[in-house]
Amino acid sequence: MSVRLSIEAEDGHARTGVLSTPHGPVPLPTFMPVGTQGSVKGLSPEEVAATGARVVLGNTYHLWLRPGAEAVATQGGLHPWSRWPHAMLTDSGGFQAFSLAKMCKRDNDGFEFRSHLDGRRCRLSPEEAVRVQRLIGADIQMQLDVCAPGGSPLPVLREACEVTTAWGKRCLDARTRADESSPQAQAMFGIVQGGTDVALRLEHAAELASLESGGRRFEGLALGGFSVGEPIPEMHEVLGEVVHRVDPSRPRYLMGVGTPRDLLVAIGAGVDMFDCVLPTRNARNGQALTRDGKLVIKNARYKDDPKPIDPDCGCPACAGGFSRAYLRHLFMCGEMLALRLMSLHNLHLYGELMGGARAAIREGRFASFQRAWLDRLDAAEAD
């Protein structure tokens, strides 16, 4: 088995169900914390799982460069090495080609990187991306894709779609029958590009949905190339027009997005899976996320504040009684405990949002659930 999608309830375009994987069931919709180097920064696997996460994301590009895919494979793969017992997804390196554009060149065969670690030249082709992810051993691997910057003209967006489709077929070709017959077989997701052009997005989604190689096809479809510089309201509008029209028989994954508002809008559009560095990165920069907006812990107003980050939150920071004043003190002193507690808080918030959304969809009240969250966020931003 690789992965299997079971939809249990729908409410409008929002849907809930289970994604069965070799490492256990994943309730949908779900948020995947990002473990760039093979761990979610500062947190143990047990702590991450306690936030409700049942999938984490590993970064193919970074693990490819250090310690190397072969080194991970000699440890039995990333699951046993990192001690993460649940499902795992690896990206392909396509986004790193976008974000590290000054150190990367693209041709028809793939990307040539100059390593940010030591300057050596490294070539990442579709076949190499599949090989590396196979060695890392995640439950779900992503095809290598081309991500165009936000605001790109139509010819650039179309070229990104065409190359991504060609590389998608090569990724499917690179999968072996031995992989698929294994009880630990990896699934592979295709990545839909097209910027904010609705027609192009739908065209590319249909093209990838129909793509086959030797009877093999993508088990899921991801939406890439969002939150890369385009106006956020425009992204929300496009998601509302596109997501529910992407093949409903496969999981839909929105890559690299985003804020609680983004997640609420996207769930309503029909997205099943999310990842983003935002909750943990923002925590390490002293920003706690709450239902009432952002709380920047270094602000002087919290110097003597005895309240927890969120009195209604059940995370270890809030339920544990750590005050804003204490967290501010730790943060200003550079103490790691502040970063850990705030990371746990932010991931716990995302876990509660996902769990609440699943319950609301099952009970046919997602619109009111979404509206209540958005109203509180709107009020906080207007304050």
Active-site amino acid positions = 91, 275
Six token digits for residue 102: 């000054």
Q: Three-state DSSP class for 52? A: coil
Q: Is 87 left (phi over 0), alpha (psi -120 to 50) or beta?
A: beta
- For residues 241 and 200, what is the distance between their CA atoms, to the nearest angstrom? 12
Scanning the structure block, which residue is given the tokens 């699943």? Answer: 358
Element (H, E) at 174: helix 154-174
Longest dimension (CA), the chain: 65
Q: Residue 127: which region, alpha, beta or left (left: phi > 0; alpha: psi -120 to 50)?
A: alpha
Structure tokens of 68?
Answer: 């190397």
Question: 83 phi and psi, to 5 degrees?
Answer: 65, 25
Q: What is the phi-psi region of residue 243: left when phi exceeds 0, alpha when psi lies from -120 to 50, beta otherwise?
A: alpha
Task: Write the single-letter amino acid at 96.
Answer: Q
Strands of 81-238, DSSP E: 87-90, 104-107, 110-114, 121-124, 140-142, 187-192, 220-223
